[in-house]
Amino acid sequence: MALSCSRLCSHLSLMRLGGFGTSRITHGVYSPDLSCQSKLYLCRHYTSSKVRRGIIGRYVTPRLQWANAKYEGFLKKQFPRFYVLHHTLVEGFKLLFQDARDVRWIKIKMAVHGVKFQDLPYRDMEKLRQFRRDVIKAIPLMVISIPPFANYLAFILMYFFPRQLLIPHFWTPRQQVEFRRVYHSARARHYQPVLKELQHKSQQVQNSPLRGRLKDLCAKVQSGSNPQASEILAVRSLFSEAPLSIRTMSVDHKRRISTLLFLTPRLPGFLIDWRLRSHALELLQLDRALSRLDPHQLSDSELKQACYLRGISSDALDVNQCQEWLSKWLQVSSSLKESEVSLLLHCIAFLSANYPKAPSRH
């Protein structure tokens, strides 16, 4: 009896629980002389777990799916507006959890292989950047939901203030287009003030030829023309020193630049300085990763998102226009050093203020 028990359990352990045995052998603590009681316990434990999983997969899960489908059908028929909100939230949580899993694997890959952020592929780098911003935005709503019954208040706030409180995962397709337009309009209002401030600061430049080129560049954009990449790169050296580097710009100018990156300007000056430099370097690293990938490999949605991040309202553009604009942006960005990232921030105004309303003038 003992022999048959040992043989049965050994077969089950090797055939069905191979991963467990392999793990023990790998760590050097596997012993073939386990008692019959221990083997019976393992067989009973894993067999019953598998049976339980089989019951849930066969009976419980289909019934839950059926009940959820009936509930969504009822909402769609009786409360169509609430159904849209409910469906958006459900799908949003699925996307958020998927992003969390993707970020987790990216972090594991970075830790295991010693990969630094600037060496990641473009899509992994963009995933980390966007997920971090989404989590930071979601923190206030999570804090509000902590007290008992406060989740009802959070739900009401989500319904009436989706743009301010919710991340894009929980926006409807219509809201995504509408909210991007709102955000871009707020950003575009600062293009001309940034250019005027830059033109004013150009008077402090000691180098006469470069001062003249910078004034001409600002005047060209203010007149409604789109500059060439060569015209922007001609003044690149001015943005690594006073008065146009990030550290030496006035606080008011830094606040205007912050709005171009969707950063809050209502912070102390030293925090604005740190955030601007951090986001500028991150954007430069993204551009370098995108250049390694080749922008033509991006999907249409990825292409439009890349253009929107860098300062242009991509919803109103077709794919060819997005590729044309992004190509010019990368032509400038790929030539910049880290000490010249201030110019990269001003390129948001240089390249986006008039595109595609006006043709490029040589």
pTM (predicted TM-score): 0.77
341-361 average pLDDT score: 85
The predicted model gives 89-118 an average pLDDT of 92
pLDDT computed for residue 9 by the predictor: 40
**HSE-up of 318 (CA within 13 Å, CB side)?**
1
- Average of pLDDT values for 24-44? 41
Report pLDDT digits (tens) over 77-92: 777 777 777 778 788 8
Given a cut of 50, whether residue 73 has pLDDT beyond it is yes
pLDDT at 25: 36
Q: What percentage of the chain exceeds 90 in pLDDT?
A: 58
Which of 279, 355, 284 lies closest to 314, judged by CA? 355
> Of 47 and 244, which is predicted with more confidence?
244
Q: What's the mean pLDDT in 291-312?
A: 94
Binned at pLDDT 50, 70 and 90, residue 173 comes out as confident
What confidence category does residue 128 fall into, taking pLDDT thresholds of 50, 70 and 90? Answer: very high
Whole-number average pLDDT of the chain: 82
Instruction: With cut-offs at 50, 70 and 90, classify the pLDDT of residue 358.
Output: low
16-20, 260-264, 269-273, 358-362: range with lowest mean pLDDT = 16-20
Residue 36 clears pLDDT 70, i.e. is over it: no
Q: Which pLDDT value is given to residue 89? A: 79
Give every CB contact of residue 160 below 8 A, 6+ residues apart in sequence.
Answer: none
